[in-house]
């Protein structure tokens, strides 16, 4: 995900797939990597400070949940990428021309909902 490091992206993937709050230990277990508990704690703390996750204290541990869906995060990343290029209209036109029929239909639906 744009703006996230490799471990941050992996932790977000765990949280998005979970569909409910997860503790550091649960995220660590689901990452299935040889990482220290404190490493995952630091990653989740960074995500919290960046606004990607909310945390709630339950008993002695924090539980983490995403503050936005994977789709919202991807849309925000696309928006940031468009802001970084010199010709966002050109990028959108190239994307539209290369989009599959299913993608074009999804865009049409989205534009109809907005209107």
Contacts of range 38-47, beta carbons closer than 8 Å, 24 or more positions apart: 39/7, 40/7, 40/11, 43/7, 43/8, 43/11, 44/11, 46/8, 47/4, 47/8, 47/11, 47/12
Residue, of 36 and 83, whose pLDDT is higher: 36
Task: Give the residue numbers spanning the domain of 14.
Answer: 6-66
Tabulate helix, strand, coil % of the chain (nearest 5): 65, 10, 25
Give the other-Cβ count within 10 Å of 16's Cβ.
16
The reply to whether 35 and 81 lie within a common domain is no
82 and 102, same domain (yes or no): yes
The model's confidence at residue 2, banded by pLDDT at 50, 70 and 90, is low
Q: Are residues 47 and 25 in the same domain?
A: yes
- The residues, ordered by sequence, that sit 6+ positions from 51 with a Cβ below 8 Å of its Cβ are 67
Is residue 33 one of the residues assigned to a domain? yes
pLDDT tens digits along 48-87: 999 999 999 998 999 999 999 999 999 888 888 888 888 8
- Confirm whether 102 is domain-assigned: yes
Regarding whether 55 and 23 lie in a shared domain, the answer is yes
Q: Cα separation of 42 and 19, whole Å?
A: 21
Task: Give the CATH number for residue 20.
Answer: 1.10.10.10
As for how many domains the chain has, the answer is 2
Of 26, 46, 66, the position where a domain reaches its end is: 66
Q: Are residues 80 and 93 in the same domain?
A: yes
Asked, for residue 95, whether it belongs to a domain, the answer is yes
E strands in 30-102: 53-58, 61-66
The reply to whether 1 falls in a domain is no
| Residues 75 and 93 grouped into a single domain | yes
pLDDT band (50, 70, 90) for residue 1: low
What is the rounded distance in angstroms from the CA atom of residue 87 to the CA atom of residue 66? 32
């Amino acid at each position: 995900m744009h703006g996230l490091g490799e471990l941050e992206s992996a932790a977000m993937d765990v949280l998005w797939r979970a569909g409910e709050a997860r503790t550091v230990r649960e995220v660590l277990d689901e990452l299935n990597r040889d990482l220290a508990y404190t490493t995952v704690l630091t990653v989740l703390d960074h995500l919290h400070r960046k606004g990607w996750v909310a945390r709630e204290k339950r008993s002695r541990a924090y539980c983490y949940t995403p503050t936005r869906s994977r789709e919202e995060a991807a849309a925000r990343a696309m928006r940031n990428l468009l802001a970084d290029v010199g010709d966002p209209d050109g990028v959108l036109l190239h994307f539209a021309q290369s989009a599959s029929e299913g993608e074009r239909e999804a865009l049409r639906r989205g534009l109809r909902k907005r209107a």
